[in-house]
Amino acid sequence: MGASIDIYQKLPKSTIDSLDKNLLVGLVSAGRTSEVQRTLDSLRVKATSSFELAYNTACSLIEREKYKDAEQLLLSAQRQVCPTPNKLLMIS
């Protein structure tokens, strides 16, 4: 898994936007959760900018036992896929 992460990091920045998401998935999967925030900072990407980034960053925080921060990111991820959850429960 480490080799995959190294390859992603060496790809040109002009490559597809999902590169950032895949890199974080690779870091979390490889157990390199301590590198997630540094990677986000170096890419100039906010963890809250997409569902995938928020979710995977939250996973890295859970691994590091930072549960309150992880909870906030999971709530952010949830809002991105379901911005008004109460409307889903409304019955006419």
Per-domain boundaries in the chain: 2-80
Q: Can you give the pLDDT at residue 81? A: 83
How far is the C-alpha of 73 from the C-alpha of 82, rounded, in Å? 14
How far is the C-alpha of 24 from the C-alpha of 22, rounded, in Å? 5
pTM for the predicted model, two decimal places: 0.71
The CATH fold of domain 2-80 = 1.25.40
More confident residue, 89 or 26: 26
Q: Can you give the pLDDT at residue 86? A: 58
